[in-house]
């Protein structure tokens, strides 16, 4: 009997991608045959990097992980998941605060589109890390070099300098 291939999507803004995101990707690919890291375009967030820049950064960081693809998408996550014929939506959880929000989102996605959500807990050392917090701390001169990959830290520093040079 042939085993069913399981495709998951891991949606997010990833602005910038964090060590916590990479932790979830690295552990989750063991659960799925294919994992699409789906870089969303949120109309309510003010991104530091373009979707294409984020896709390129993530693709570079995950290039040696078989089964991981990186794409950007517009619109509803469930519509993108259907288009990609994904079996599940993957979500990382950091804290109890995430659980309430993610639970509601997962129930809505199942009710609206019939797609299941799989949750993976972020490793303890990344439980407090968010892209928003990293952008904020870095923009105020704080050192976030231990929370994001080195290559991303350099790009973040360059972007923040160019933003401050051109207000």
Domains of the chain: 7-127 (3.40.50.620)
Cβ-proximal residues to 63 (8 Å cutoff; 6+ apart), any chain: none
Catalytic residue at 162?
A: no
The candidate with the shortest Cα–Cα distance to 131, out of 26, 24, 7, is 24
| Strands 116-121, 88-93: pairing kind | parallel
Q: Please, where are the H alpha helices in 48-130?
A: 51-62, 77-83, 96-113
Print pLDDT tens along the chain (167 aa): 667 899 999 999 999 999 999 999 999 999 999 999 999 987 677 889 999 999 999 999 999 999 999 999 999 999 999 999 999 999 999 887 788 889 999 999 999 999 999 999 998 888 888 999 999 999 999 999 999 999 999 999 999 998 777 75
Q: Match 């078989």 to its residue by tokens.
A: 66
- Identify the active-site residue in 13, 28, 72, 131: 131
Catalytic residue at 72?
A: no
């Amino acid at each position: 009997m042939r085993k069913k291939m399981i495709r998951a999507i891991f949606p997010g803004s990833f602005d910038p991608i964090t060590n916590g995101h990479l932790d979830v990707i690295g552990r989750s690919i063991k659960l799925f045959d294919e994992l699409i890291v789906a870089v969303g375009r949120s109309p309510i967030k003010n991104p530091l990097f373009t979707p294409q820049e984020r896709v390129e950064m993530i693709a570079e960081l995950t290039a040696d992980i078989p089964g991981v693809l990186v794409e950007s998408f517009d619109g509803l996550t469930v519509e993108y998941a259907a288009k990609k014929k994904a079996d599940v939506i993957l979500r990382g959880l950091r804290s109890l605060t995430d659980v309430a929000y993610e639970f509601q989102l997962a129930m809505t996605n199942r009710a609206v589109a019939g797609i299941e959500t799989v949750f993976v807990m972020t490793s303890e050392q990344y439980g407090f890390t968010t892209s928003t917090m990293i952008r904020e701390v870095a923009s105020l001169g704080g050192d976030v070099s231990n929370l994001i990959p080195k290559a991303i830290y350099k790009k973040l520093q360059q972007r923040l300098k160019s933003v401050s040079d051109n207000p």
